[in-house]
Amino acid sequence: MNDYDADNGPPLVGMRAPLLYQRVKLHGLVSRPELNGSFGKAVSWSEEKGRYGVQIAGHEDMIALKPANLAAAGAEEGVVCGHCGAGAANERCTRCFAVWYCSAECRKQGWAAHKPACTPPPVAEFGSEMSHAQQAKIQQHMQAAIDAGKRGSAAGKAQEIKMLRQSAAADPQQPMTWFNLAQAYWDLGVKGDAVEAMCKAVHNLVRVLKNPQAVDLSDPNAKYLMEELPPKVTATAAKLLEDAVVGRGGDQLEWDERLGRLLQTLADLCGSRLHPGARSLTHYVFGNVLRKRRKNEEAREQLVLADRAAWNGGRGERDLVSLSAIPDVIANQALNLGGAAPPELWVEAISAAREALGATPRNHRMHPSVQLTLARMLSNRISKGLADAQGHVNVDEAAPLAREGAKLARAARAAAQGSDPRLVALADQLLSPSQPFGLLAGA
């Protein structure tokens, strides 16, 4: 995808996407002025970058554009034929009025591909049971949606999403529909909507698993729903949550936190059918969401559980990512308390950092990073935990910590030299003369 900006401002991360799946008119492009006035369709949205993926008639590639460069096209403007892609479409589908064609012949030839999206499935009344015929119709509609998405194009994914939303409206308690919708949104990079749909999928699946008496066990799909689907949904939802939090934080993660909590329930219901690695990931991603929402006590608990699940009583391996995050969570707890933070919190942070370093093999790529984590905890202990109200530090107590921290920082810098400039810069910062290590290491 080519990326054209109208200005040099930062991406508008986290904003809503009202133009998604709409026809749009391009304007204000500086890098590609020849595209100004063109029409296209916004077929994807990157929440991380704050840009739409726009498919322009006559262009093979999508281009990424900021919302400021797009306007909703009027009903009569730049209409593209839904079959051949020509820009002279002037007659609509007479059933749904949503798709335009350039001729009656194109409308006739395009009907086979358009029919599944044009014909919504039957809608179930809330609380009522659907007939087998109605259920079969919804399954047929959902399969047509998935087939549309498999065409590989962004337009196919957009059609898949539209059809799956119709299926979800027809039977909102069907977990598989929401699961497929979440994956379709995820494929297009619409993380917020993907998480919300996955949340509904997990909620409905938990409801089914907690009420097995309501499941028709004679249905050939019952075993898949009760036994095979839950571990699959759990593992996929955890991976989605891991990806979705990147570049997002605070109130943007409200649905992510809901999904994290529901995942713990679903993982418990999976029992031994869930792989320990997947179980560990559910704890880690939930802990990471809580950390980003500054719920440090809960975050710490989840990260500890992630390591415990991965270790699996000695049959697995330590979760180094979670282990290395725990000291920072404890330090954030202490920093949030400021001067009221008990010294024990800094001691716990140092102990957690030492445990993470002890579990990380010396030849592991994370080793320098974990060394710096411990060095940073020692520096925080000196400057935040050992200083009196006037900022004075007891040298006799602080100097041994400073010498240990300086040694770790130098080792991390040497290991990262030439491969990770970020770690080298962090080590240099800890060793600067104005920091505790620089002031006290020689004492």
253/251 Cα distance (integer angstroms): 5
Q: Which residues are CB-neighbours of 357 under 8 A, at least 6 positions away?
A: 367, 370, 371, 373, 374
Is pLDDT above 80 for 359? yes
Local confidence band at 59 (pLDDT 50, 70, 90 cut-offs): low
Are 136 and 30 found together in one domain? Answer: no
* Residue 298, number of CB atoms within 10 A of its CB: 18
208/213 Cα distance (integer angstroms): 9
The number of distinct structural domains making up the chain is 3
**Helices 154-170/132-149 angle, 10° precision:** 160
Task: Using a cut of 0.85, tell me whether the model's pTM lies above it.
Answer: no
The DSSP 8-state label assigned to residue 387 in this structure reads B
Are 13 and 99 found together in one domain? Answer: yes
Let me know if residue 432 belongs to a domain: yes
Are 6 and 100 found together in one domain? Answer: yes
- Give the pLDDT confidence score for residue 141 in this predicted structure: 47
Local confidence band at 71 (pLDDT 50, 70, 90 cut-offs): confident
Are 16 and 98 found together in one domain? Answer: yes
More confident call, 67 vs 21 = 67
Residue 154 is part of which domain span?
Answer: 120-172
Are 60 and 144 found together in one domain? Answer: no
- Give the pLDDT confidence score for residue 12 in this predicted structure: 31
Are 335 and 411 found together in one domain? Answer: yes
The DSSP 8-state label assigned to residue 1 in this structure reads -
Let me know if residue 86 belongs to a domain: yes
**Closest residue by Cα to residue 45 from 23, 66, 71:** 66
Task: Name the average pLDDT for the chain.
Answer: 79
Let me know if residue 183 belongs to a domain: no
Let me know if residue 18 belongs to a domain: yes
Are 66 and 135 found together in one domain? Answer: no
Are 64 and 94 found together in one domain? Answer: yes
**Cβ density class 302-337: b for 16+ within 10 Å, e for less:** bbbbbbbbbbeeeebebbbbbbbbbbbbbbbbbeee
CB 328, CB 341: distance < 8 Å: no
Whichever domain contains 74, its CATH number is 2.30.30
The residues with which 63 forms a beta bridge, in sequence order, are 2, 54
Are 17 and 88 found together in one domain? Answer: yes
Are 126 and 108 found together in one domain? Answer: no
Are 142 and 103 found together in one domain? Answer: no
* Residue 67, number of CB atoms within 10 A of its CB: 18
